[in-house]
Structure 1
Amino acid sequence: MKNLDRNSKRGVYLTITPFFPTHSSFRGSFVYDQVKAIMKSGRFDEVVVIRPNRKCKKALKYRYQEVTVYEIPFYESPSLILNGSFNGLNRRNFLKRFDESDIKLESIRYVHCHVSYFAALGLALKELNPNIKCILQHHDPDPFTIRNGRFSHCRWNLRYRALRNIELFQKVDLHVSVSRRVEENLVRFPDCSNAEVDLDYIEKVKLIKDAPNATIKESYVLHNGVDLEKFSKKSDHEAAELFNVGCVANFIDWKNQLLLIQALKELVAAPESEEVRLHLVGSGPCLADCKRFVCEHKLDRYVSFIDEIPHGDVVEFYNKMDLFVLPSTFEGFGCVFLESYACGVPFMTCKWQGMDDYIAPEESRKWLFEAHDARAIAESIRNFKTKRWEQVLTKPIDINILINDFLDRLERL
């Protein structure tokens, strides 16, 4: 294929994502960073975002920083029951809103959809303009969206959701996974990796093991990089009497903050680790249980809970930590790990998560611990506190480098 000039601008890059910041919420900052890096590449006339929102009553247009965003209504069944049943309605509504926008169908080169069922919207555009390449990005190890929802234990519900997504996935030009772990669960479905540690997902997959395989045309791993203009080490870490462990995450079951608190309880029971302090940032349904455990075990002096920190301010938090620990068991990647690393703070997490991609096998014992094991977490923290190993990653973290490699790959579609 003829080499293409990276600096030439060619058409529109359209992103369809439910994850994108607004003027009142910073959620979705990781997609904003991706969009910003695509804009910075200079390869497109325009990079535009469409944000489907089930809470949105009417379409609106806004600008977030330098990005034009169209927010449109999106219909979703309660608790994801028979998820995908509204695909037809959402396609019709989406095309109507698209016609009302300033985006020219013939100018779109790529449509980049985030999360399984939003592929229906991208594919609706591809049907009208077959020259469009449709990309679908998967952010967690459940690409087919079978794990979530109140009725996710019901086989009839899981099978319906899987079949609707299989139908979409087979039409997508390129599937993008945020880690090898996510990619493996994508291509092996309706099976999962032998190394899978999330018991809930394993049980859900067993319920629909007779579902057909999805034919994946092409697959690519795009790690969530870091904007190094925002995240960096501010100064040499000052020696302090306390050893500060940080964690930034939603308080949901598979993030396992309670397990981390249990590890802290074991740590501070030993006199040599009494100065360890744990700082937990975030909110969510499991927060109350964590606070209750801290109160019941009189750990108040060792644990602090912090409300959500705006994405632009979290760098100050990282720079005050000695170590970042998040014992997730269902982490597709985890931007927070590389953000802390960019600020000079090493991280630890469970084995067989997205971060495995960045840790050399011979280094894994230092930074990766067994899932569901508070003692293993405590031992890992204790070892680092004593030896202060330097953490060296195996891949680039700069989002601009990662995105430029990704855009090179798109040229070969």
Structure 2
Amino acid sequence: MFNYIVITPFFPSSNSFRGTYLLDQVKAIKSNSNYNLLVIILSPFLAKSEGEYFIEGVHCKTFKIIDFPSFILPSFFNKINIKRFQKFLKKNYIKVNSKSIIHGHINYPSLNFLDFFSRKFSCKTILQHHGLDILQRNTGINIPFLKSFQNKLILKRFIKLSDLITIHVAVSSVVKNNLIKINAKLEDKIYICINGVDISKFYIQKIKKNNNDKFTIGCVANFWKIKDQMTLLKSINILKTRGIDDLNVKFVGTGETRKKCIKYANKYNIKCDFIDQLKHSDLLSFYNQLDLFVLPSIDEAFGCVYLEALACGVPFIGVKNQGIEDVIKNDLKKIQLFKSGCIINLSKLIHHFYSNKIKIEFDNKYKIENTVKKLLNHINPNE
């Protein structure tokens, strides 16, 4: 019998590394408990999937859900999907009882399945929120009047079902605050679990940096407006106009603002490398070539990349009032955080790290095995 089931709309496979953090978390749950664990991936009905597979020792099965494109009418097919899901459980010999733990990720569609498990088996249910957009208002359909209708449906269902969840897990205090704004009744049910780092994957390598003596800054993020890579480029340009010409920026990511950033870098002759993507396993060597990591994101629930870089011995700079502020010591906030969009402020912080050899130690309490142990203790304090 599987007594710990993870429900998620995304998880790494041989064809995709989306959701790599979830894999690290699941592995940590397995290695720090006696649970027999299974991951069930909720995949769109027509999407290609791997069905049943194992990845790094984790057992995964795929359940295809019926839904409209861009979930225009969320939960419209819920009754049909739940009936199909019960057959799926029976066919795959997945037995659940009141002592089982069901750990879902992302509000929709996971919440519907958590509700099913809660009502059917009276077991503990967990819903983990990874972003500030709890209700996924920024995803789905883009037609304004349909989007408004869709958002109302999702909000109504979340208010109705979220109270029934045993524990809501937020990856930072800002995510917790957003949850409370939506449903104040959840405050006592929310547990903050920082996205810990697997230090077997991210650590300081004993290698020489091959950056030709340039001060190298890294940024790993999709090129979306909210990630605000342009603020980093403009800050570098300020330093360049002041005679600091030995800076090199390495960007990893793709997206809508990438061309604009490349155009700006070329126009002002800013030394940059634009890398489409890296395998998660290649990030170790990437971080170890950096002197500083900067992510100027203005809508960041947490940002695993900050702590991954720090675990590799690379200090980071982030934006004030974002999730990462939870892990920055008070006396370091003045050199690690800047006001959103303030290029002058950011340029000063970069110059501070450039001019001084500042070492910031990685705190072992953010090792994923430690954050997961605390989570497991919160779920079952008597075990």
TM normalised by structure 1 equals 0.85
2:39/2:58 contact within 8 Å kept: yes
The farther-off stretch of 335-344 and 85-94 is: 85-94
Q: CA deviation at 1:269?
A: 1.7
- Which among 235, 239, 242 is matched to residue 263 of structure 1? 235
- What are the equivalent positions in structure 2 for 1:22-41 lying under 5 Å apart? 22-41=13-32
The aligned length equals: 377
Q: Confirm or deny that 1:156 pairs with 2:149.
A: yes
The one-letter code sitting in structure 2 at the alignment partner of 1:347 is F
Q: CA deviation at 1:254?
A: 0.9
In structure 2, the gaps of 5 or more residues are none
2:311/2:362 contact within 8 Å kept: no
- What are the equivalent positions in structure 2 for 1:378-397 lying under 5 Å apart? 378-392=347-361, 396-397=365-366
The one-letter code sitting in structure 2 at the alignment partner of 1:119 is L
The one-letter code sitting in structure 1 at the alignment partner of 2:37 is V
- What are the equivalent positions in structure 2 for 1:2-401 lying under 5 Å apart? 12-44=3-35, 46-54=36-44, 55-56=46-47, 60-106=51-97, 109-117=100-108, 118-130=110-122, 132-149=123-140, 150-151=142-143, 155-189=148-182, 215=186, 218-235=189-206, 241-271=213-243, 273-299=244-270, 302-392=271-361, 396-401=365-370
Counterpart secondary structure, 1:329? coil
The one-letter code sitting in structure 1 at the alignment partner of 2:273 is S
Counterpart secondary structure, 1:407? helix
Counterpart secondary structure, 1:69? strand
Q: 1:93 to 1:263 in 2, by over 3 A?
A: farther
**CA RMSD for the aligned pairs?**
2.3
- How far apart in 1 are the matches of 2:92 and 2:113? 15
Counterpart secondary structure, 1:274? coil
2:98/2:124 contact within 8 Å kept: no
- How far apart in 1 are the matches of 2:346 and 2:68? 39
Residue by residue over 1:160-199, the C-alpha shift from the partner in whole angstroms, topping out at 9 and shown as x without a partner, is 2211222221111100000011011101227xxxxxxxxx
Counterpart secondary structure, 2:85? helix
Residue by residue over 1:108-155, the C-alpha shift from the partner in whole angstroms, topping out at 9 and shown as x without a partner, is 61000000021111221222211x100000001122222334146854
Identity percentage of aligned residues: 31
The one-letter code sitting in structure 1 at the alignment partner of 2:27 is K
- How far apart in 2 are the matches of 1:160 and 1:406? 31
Q: CA deviation at 1:260?
A: 1.5
The one-letter code sitting in structure 1 at the alignment partner of 2:235 is A
| Equivalent residue number for residue 411 of structure 1 | 380
- How far apart in 1 are the matches of 2:112 and 2:303? 26
In structure 1, the gaps of 5 or more residues are 1-9, 191-212
Q: 1:169 to 1:370 in 2, by over 3 A?
A: same
Q: CA deviation at 1:76?
A: 4.2
Q: 1:279 to 1:152 in 2, by over 3 A?
A: farther
Residue by residue over 1:328-387, the C-alpha shift from the partner in whole angstroms, topping out at 9 and shown as x without a partner, is 111111111111011000111100111110112221110001002222221211111112
2:313/2:359 contact within 8 Å kept: no
- How far apart in 1 are the matches of 2:79 and 2:186? 22
2:313/2:360 contact within 8 Å kept: no
The farther-off stretch of 72-81 and 322-331 is: 72-81
The farther-off stretch of 80-89 and 61-70 is: 80-89
Counterpart secondary structure, 1:135? strand
TM normalised by structure 2 equals 0.91
| Equivalent residue number for residue 205 of structure 1 | none
1:59/1:97 contact within 8 Å kept: no
1:252/1:285 contact within 8 Å kept: yes
Residue by residue over 1:276-302, the C-alpha shift from the partner in whole angstroms, topping out at 9 and shown as x without a partner, is 110001122222222232233343xx1
- How far apart in 1 are the matches of 2:81 and 2:294? 40
